[in-house]
Chain A
Amino acid sequence: MNGVVWLLRLGLAGVFVYAGVVKLGDPSGFAEEIAGYRLAPGAVGRWTAVYLPWLEVVIGVGVLLPWTVRGAAMIQAGLMVVFIVALSSAWWRGLDITCGCFGGGGEPADYGWLIGRDVVLLVGAGWVWVGTNSGGGAEPVRADGRMGPNK
């Protein structure tokens, strides 16, 4: 069980850090891709474009650290829900957009595949969240092996 959770944490870390880093270079382009979804007003889209890439990097690293793993997994799961809703909504409205998931440009969104991928990530993050609950090992035990809250 712990082995699986560790693999999932590594996988999620890789996906999120990569997704964040590739978007850091062009916040303006990412803002446009967000605007393509036609879900949020421009101001929200612009803030998302500068914030989301950093958040992805932070929670990508955070899911590997014993004292932030559960919080990171929860944010990851929350983001996946948001992404799935956004993609489904764009699909429903028949928008021809690029995903924006891993940086700029790219092919027009293949909604089924993208939503499926996000569902897999959602399940993975949920699994990590459950698997690191007390007894799962990560949070209650500090890196030095002693019990107690991590500060």
Chain B
Amino acid sequence: MAWQVAGLLLVGALPAVATAWWHPRSPYGGSAAGDTSEASALADGEVRLATALGWGESVLWVDARPSAEYTQQRIPGAVWLSVDDWEAGLFDVLERVPTEGWVVVYCGSQRCEASREVAERLRDEAGLERVVVLHGGWDAWKAGPR
């Protein structure tokens, strides 16, 4: 029985390694992760990475991913803000909002909703007007501007 369990676990691990390595949407930074998100159309209230980078210093990056991911790695200077722990991060954001710039919110990928939710609340509840969502999220950042 033990060898059955070990064998099955191993058989599952082999394609998993291949997935981590080659899958275009691998969480380890797949080769085409940026391609798909960058190529897809911009939704309302979204901005492409290249555009946001063009704004230079007048951008406040807001990280809407889970705090563990933020702690591990983030866009330099980003402030963490989550809808689940709104008060905790809001003060930091409000304190650092650039007067003439933009707030750019991102979550993990194009699929996550957290950045859209955070951006909406920043507009509706905090009264900020220049708030946009990073198209492609963290995946796009990792892939770099295209």
Per-position contact with A for B47-84: 1 when CB-CB < 8 Å, else 0? 00000000000000000011111001100000000001
* A12–B91 alpha-carbon span in the complex (Å): 49
A9 interface residue per 8 A CB criterion: no
Per-position contact with A for B95-130: 1 when CB-CB < 8 Å, else 0? 000000000000111011000000000000000000
Contact of B30 among A28, A36, A41 (CB under 8 A): A28
Interface size range of chain A in the complex: 35 or more
B residues near A29, Cβ cutoff 8 Å: 25, 108-109, 111-112
Q: Which of the listed residues A46, A50, A54, A62 has the most CB atoms from chain B within 10 Å of its own CB? A: A50
Contact A68 B7 (CB under 8 A): yes
A32 interface residue per 8 A CB criterion: yes
Q: Which of the listed residues B16, B28, B30 has the most CB atoms from chain A within 10 Å of its own CB? A: B16
* A71–B4 alpha-carbon span in the complex (Å): 5
What total of A-B pairs shows CB separation below 8 Å? 109
Contact B109 A51 (CB under 8 A): no
Contact B109 A68 (CB under 8 A): no
- CB closest chain-B residue, reference A37: B66
A residues near B65, Cβ cutoff 8 Å: 32, 35
Contact B19 A28 (CB under 8 A): no
- CB closest chain-A residue, reference B5: A71
* A25–B30 alpha-carbon span in the complex (Å): 12
* A120–B58 alpha-carbon span in the complex (Å): 54
- CB closest chain-A residue, reference B11: A58
- CB closest chain-B residue, reference A51: B16
Contact B25 A75 (CB under 8 A): no
* A110–B4 alpha-carbon span in the complex (Å): 34
Residues of chain A in range 47-66 having any CB-CB distance to chain B below 8 Å = 47, 49-51, 53-55, 57-59, 62
Contact A75 B23 (CB under 8 A): no
Contact B4 A67 (CB under 8 A): yes
Residues of chain A in range 30-49 having any CB-CB distance to chain B below 8 Å = 30-32, 35-36, 38, 41-42, 45-47, 49
A87 interface residue per 8 A CB criterion: no
Contact A51 B12 (CB under 8 A): yes
Contact B27 A38 (CB under 8 A): no
Within the complex, what minimum Cβ distance (angstroms) separates B46 from chain A?
A: 18
A104 interface residue per 8 A CB criterion: yes
**Residues of chain A whose beta carbon lies under 8 Å from any beta carbon of chain B:** 24-32, 35-36, 38, 41-42, 45-47, 49-51, 53-55, 57-59, 62, 67-68, 70-72, 74-75, 95-96, 104-105
